Amino acid sequence: SGGKADYITFSGSGEPTLWRHIGELIKFIKEEFAEKKVCVLTNGTTLWRKEVREALMLADLVVPTVAAADRKTYIKLHRPHLSATFERHIEGVKKFAEVFGGSIWAEVMLVAGINDSDEHLRKLAELLDGIPFEFIDINLPIRPPAESWVKPPEMERVEFACRLFGERCRVVGKFRAVQPKVERLANLAEKVLEILMRRPEKLENIADALAVTYDEARKAIDALIAKKLVTKTTNDYFKLTRDEG
């Protein structure tokens, strides 16, 4: 599209550090595209392994998740493999932060009723204070989760957490705006078409962009599909029918 990318980012569906060749690919990018920065978004569960820490050394930015301050919350939040323990997770993040020459930010995913209590947030703030993160980014479960009980916390909880985390804290997960229903649904199908004229999008991205619920966005998309104006791709993106082929 002619724009400039700030980073080439490793993320997506799955944990990028589980791929044994990630270090080689980072090295290739740094050699072939020296002007580009490399970012790795990781859940942090493999950083206790020396070979994983070494593989990420050429990255410019690494963002591990640190969202639990004790073993019980860690298990409830992450439902980890038996080898991925709370103790190993924190040990690995700390060891990596000690030797990594690039920037390291923390991602804190806050989930209502799981890790947003006063007691837990205070313990988490103490834990984060002991790790030299450049930023502490609070994220929220906005997209449809695997479990129906996963909900974003109230704004008051987010603000409380940010005060505890201090000046490094940023809120990157957004709350969906609540507008009057009539205004929100007016010409919704037309607004969906305007978005898809720019590029294909997934349902959750369309809903977030228009500040409507997923159900409302789905109904508008279904109406457009019925009119053969929009089609769904095999990887769950929606696009204009005229763009096919």
Residue 34 DSSP SS3:
coil
Lowest mean pLDDT among 33-47, 112-126, 205-219, 221-235: 205-219
In the structure encoding, which two tokens stand for residue 24, read together?
């080689």
Are 74 and 35 found together in one domain? yes
Please say whether the beta carbons of 220 and 188 come within 8 A. Answer: yes
Are 187 and 112 found together in one domain? no
- Residue where a domain stops, chosen among 142, 171, 200: 171
Give the pLDDT of residue 10. 93
Are 31 and 139 found together in one domain? yes
Give the pLDDT of residue 132. 96
Give the pLDDT of residue 148. 80
Residue 2 lies in a domain: no
In terms of residue numbers, what domain contains 218?
181-243
Are 114 and 218 found together in one domain? no
Structural domain count, the chain: 2
Phi, psi of 148 (to 5 degrees): -70, -20
Cα–Cα distance for residue pair 222/216, rounded to 1 Å: 10
pLDDT tens track for 211-235:
778 888 898 999 899 889 999 998 8
Residue 78 lies in a domain: yes
Is the predicted pLDDT of residue 245 greater than 50, yes or no?
yes
pLDDT tens track for 138-164:
999 877 677 888 899 998 999 999 999
- Cα distances from 94 to residues 49, 129, 137, 231, 241, in angstroms, run 12, 11, 17, 47, 50
Lowest mean pLDDT among 51-55, 66-70, 118-122, 210-214: 210-214
Over residues 169-189, the mean pLDDT reads 60
Residue in the block written with tokens 């950083």: 47
Q: How confident is the model at residue 178 (pLDDT cuts 50, 70, 90)?
A: very low
- Residue where a domain stops, chosen among 124, 151, 171: 171
- Residue where a domain stops, chosen among 139, 171, 203: 171
Cα–Cα distance for residue pair 56/192, rounded to 1 Å: 39
Cα–Cα distance for residue pair 136/139, rounded to 1 Å: 10
Provide the strand spans (E) within the chain.
7-10, 37-42, 61-64, 103-104, 106-109, 136-139, 169-171, 201-202, 230-232, 237-240
